[in-house]
Structure 1
């Protein structure tokens, strides 16, 4: 189904509201104060039915005092109808509205010259030339200009036909996006409950969906949906909708809040962006200036940090970081308006490039310049992964973009097929890492292992957990295990009983170490044939390394921490035990102590070792063969 929402723009009293009534038959001046004063203060709404679709209209206020409502009104719209009256021509709010439309990144629209019944044809042509001059070099250059009169209905059918043509150009795949709605009204109805309204900016929203209200992060479910006062089961991006929410109180919600699916938006108080200052302003934007930021339907105060500490004047642009005085929700590509702090005046706007900056602005200027020029999702994911310089959850990409889990997953798999990204998948959890970052980690691990192997030529390797703590601190254990497995598969490292070495490494003693090993064996042999305590030998790093080497080579058997037994002595004990049990079926600790001529403590330790190796099995106070 096609959905299209058109917003009006233009100076006060140029006939926007009357024109919408002529097109749709619906009066959008609904507030008593609006009726009395004859101007639109808040947002008004109307719709026009075609055979196969319905087009929505958002009537925005033209008066300069209500510019914030105008900015809220153009949030989520698909096209604009710029209204200029034939009797007055282009006026201050005509220009300010048009500047706002440009800054908000709108791509489609048309111009209607109204009140043509009040002037002669010659003056209408003059206004038409003024309009062409105004829109030159903008998104409305060469746009359709329709001359109309709401009084005589001249041009109204032409407007309807052109709107139908605009709607047919919509080809966006909404199934790839997560739904998001900037709330512009909150009210309560008796017997119904709390209702919020807005224009759905992205995706599809269904009845009974579980949603979160941001920034409060309050959960609710959708009891009912309405589009153009009709109950529906699904709302499409671009449609004006009223949403009836369960178990929420009106007082907990505000205009400017956002409604979305859980875990699809992030709260942030700073954004990296590209700023453009309108040519007509004579205001100078200095570094660290406080400005009014209008984004979505929210108005907040932000401090601007301009790249290279420059000043911004009319017609200039720059990369900047906005530090916001409260948490907001934004995504990459979101458009916003900046107004001078005092007096209130629209000075510029921009686009969000990074909604969650993690480095200083001047450190990422090359990357930020790249993503400003390239809005391709694949390129943006590459940027995110390089900036992250580690593993990134798919949820982080979802929160930064308008796209949903399934589509981002598909893109990640495509990037992996081109060896740009490596994905680590655990059920629905996906962690991605850029191939260049993975290569750096590979080299970091190999360098760490090689350093250890160079310093200790008989090292058995680095314990797997120690390697994780030193190089992968804070990384999910499942990711780490799979990362190590990948390196093993590629024959870059070996994992022997959770001791990690480089693939080609093998411990080998030099002559000096061999001599020390021989001396150590003599000392240990002289201690007897029982369990030996090697704690004093561990005090020397070299001796400790030799002991570990002998354990690995199975010349010594580790019974307990710092307690070992010579392998051939243990084998002799084992043979005696097996022979005894074959003849007697079972043995007690006392019998075993007497059999091997040891003490009770060591006897228990050796029996427990045999239990752990499934040679013996303990039953009550005796052992049998396993």
Structure 2
């Protein structure tokens, strides 16, 4: 169990920790010299078999960024208020930040009670009760504490333990994610990092990735909450001995993640709340400092509905100068440009860049629905909400939730979401776009009865959806038999192009240039036959409609016989593993550009699929043609 201390500078946070644990959390020489906490301090003790960890955060306003780094969502807040000082500026700011970070349980320690008379003590207690009544601490107990008199310490620990024992136990639902606050190299230990386990279940031997560098590391040793262990759970304070990376290449603000969830972004949307006492209006493109776990970056804030003032709650887009290793549902804190005040904060509800204007009504409506699902951790509802707008990639959507493939697929309901080639689209959106394309193709066939169909770009230009969604619907509809595809042209499955008259003599001449290992381009054929380029293009289109040739690229045509030969080459290359463009080029004895054109055609008709620099077979050539 981890307890985050918060409160104004010199209100006795570190003294309480030392009295309870025997450990001085002010570990830095400068901290001990100045008598204030600058960086995070940690100390541990056992109480009736319960392991307690205390996170001592800085109280001075100059070190608020370090205070934010020490807070995790499921921690218990111990707010320390000195009886001889009362509610002070950093008391208010700390409580505001804890609330913005969604802490839900806490205790108030009224320290230094030995320094005030009973009447004054009662006045301070009333002041504290009034202060916390509209915060997450509204039901928190106030425990009077005096370090010199050793008063109230046992009661304080009992109160904290009692609250946490009645709290809901958190099971690890997401993949591993740990925020690094220190990296160092003790003699003989190699690389060691410390930080909070935000998500997942960590074990010795796990392989993780540092998103900023992409470097993979292996966990050699775990110290969880001050004790060596084989595993660590969500909320544990961990020290990890790592192999695979030098300590000089790991920094505060870095993260360790499941390699399947190596996700970062500079842009995201937040359900944002401005603090009640912030004195200025938040305008479009306001410069800010953003804090996320142990990470800090400058950036800009863009209100989506209207300018925001004190106490307002609204959606904002945030653009950072550096990439954040985030997940949906994460909390962020935003401070003003000179870092003198906290503006507010909130929950990340979307990491998908807008494909339309930021303030478009439909986008704001979708974001409002998504906000509700994210706040409830309703992954299935959020998936369906996102997929109603556009086609999305399974991997990217899973990464945005910090869920690897096996965890993410448990949230998919195929009655509501269509799945094709590692992409998702809601069934409602699929039907809607499919009907729009059906009407377009019906009109197209009436206007162009001799053409075999329309290209993807022609269809896309007539629609109001993004091209990836159009491609998804076209491919899905071809597989289900509603549409057909031939030479990259889509048609209704019931459509048969009116066979045009074609020049048989010219076809025989063209055949000499296309029924070869590497067909010539249409421009080269036109020069060889001394025919104007446009005239030849019109005749070639007639050959395609007559199913004599197949248009593989805008400038090159093939016979079906030659394409079947190349499909056999692909089958042989992909027998044991995915293959590269160079391997296909060498096996087919074609030039690189001609080879790429053929492979892209095979991708288009769903015979192959490109995965980064390699291709793999996902269908059969005979069926797709």
Where does the alignment leave 5 or more consecutive residues of structure 2 unmatched?
Answer: 512-530, 550-556, 561-625
Pairing partner for 1:333 from 326, 329, 352 = 329
User: Secondary structure of the equivalent of 1:184?
Assistant: strand
8 Å CA contact 2:282–2:303 kept in 1: the answer is: no
Q: How does 1:184-203 map to 2 (within 5 A)?
A: 184-203=181-200
Q: Does 1:446 align with 2:443?
A: no
Change (3 A) 1:173 1:404: farther
Can you list the C-alpha shifts for 1:285-335, whole angstroms capped at 9, x where unaligned? 33322112122112211122223562x433233322222122222222221
Change (3 A) 1:270 1:481: closer
Can you list the C-alpha shifts for 1:161-184, whole angstroms capped at 9, x where unaligned? 222223324445533211211111
Q: Distance in 2 between matches of 1:175 and 1:41?
A: 32
Aligned residue in 2 for 1:502? 492
Q: How does 1:267-306 map to 2 (within 5 A)?
A: 267-306=264-303
- Structure 1 residue 229, shift from structure 2 partner: 3.1
Moved more, 48-57 or 213-222: 48-57
Aligned residue in 2 for 1:366? 365
- Structure 1 residue 111, shift from structure 2 partner: 1.0
Q: Distance in 2 between matches of 1:474 and 1:94?
A: 52
Aligned residue in 1 for 2:383? 381
8 Å CA contact 1:178–1:402 kept in 2: the answer is: yes
Aligned residue in 2 for 1:594? none
Q: Distance in 2 between matches of 1:281 and 1:479?
A: 47
8 Å CA contact 1:204–1:234 kept in 2: the answer is: yes
Alignment length, in residue pairs?
A: 521
Aligned residue in 2 for 1:589? none
Aligned residue in 2 for 1:393? 393
Q: Distance in 1 between matches of 2:294 and 2:260?
A: 20
- Structure 1 residue 94, shift from structure 2 partner: 0.9
User: Secondary structure of the equivalent of 2:8?
Assistant: coil
8 Å CA contact 2:273–2:314 kept in 1: the answer is: yes
- Structure 1 residue 346, shift from structure 2 partner: 1.9
Q: Distance in 1 between matches of 2:466 and 2:81?
A: 62
User: Secondary structure of the equivalent of 1:374?
Assistant: helix
Pairing partner for 1:317 from 310, 313, 317 = 313
Q: How does 1:21-420 map to 2 (within 5 A)?
A: 21-50=18-47, 53-76=50-73, 78-307=75-304, 310=307, 312-342=308-338, 344-359=340-355, 360-363=357-360, 364-375=363-374, 376-387=378-389, 389-390=390-391, 392-412=392-412, 415-416=413-414, 419-420=415-416
TM-score (norm 1): 0.74
Q: Distance in 2 between matches of 1:90 and 1:543?
A: 83
- Structure 1 residue 398, shift from structure 2 partner: 2.2
Q: Distance in 2 between matches of 1:67 and 1:500?
A: 59
Q: Distance in 1 between matches of 2:317 and 2:544?
A: 58
Can you list the C-alpha shifts for 1:370-403, whole angstroms capped at 9, x where unaligned? 222332222221232234x12x222212221244
Pairing partner for 2:8 from 8, 11, 18 = 11
- Structure 1 residue 281, shift from structure 2 partner: 3.0
Q: Distance in 2 between matches of 1:498 and 1:353?
A: 38
Q: Distance in 2 between matches of 1:484 and 1:368?
A: 29
Q: Distance in 2 between matches of 1:252 and 1:67?
A: 26
Where does the alignment leave 5 or more consecutive residues of structure 1 unmatched?
Answer: 553-559, 564-626
Q: Distance in 2 between matches of 1:351 and 1:179?
A: 20
**Structure with bigger gyration radius:** 1
Q: Distance in 1 between matches of 2:547 and 2:102?
A: 71
User: Secondary structure of the equivalent of 1:208?
Assistant: coil
8 Å CA contact 1:182–1:199 kept in 2: the answer is: yes
Change (3 A) 1:539 1:282: closer
- Structure 1 residue 79, shift from structure 2 partner: 1.8
User: Secondary structure of the equivalent of 1:242?
Assistant: strand
- Structure 1 residue 53, shift from structure 2 partner: 4.0
User: Secondary structure of the equivalent of 2:17?
Assistant: helix
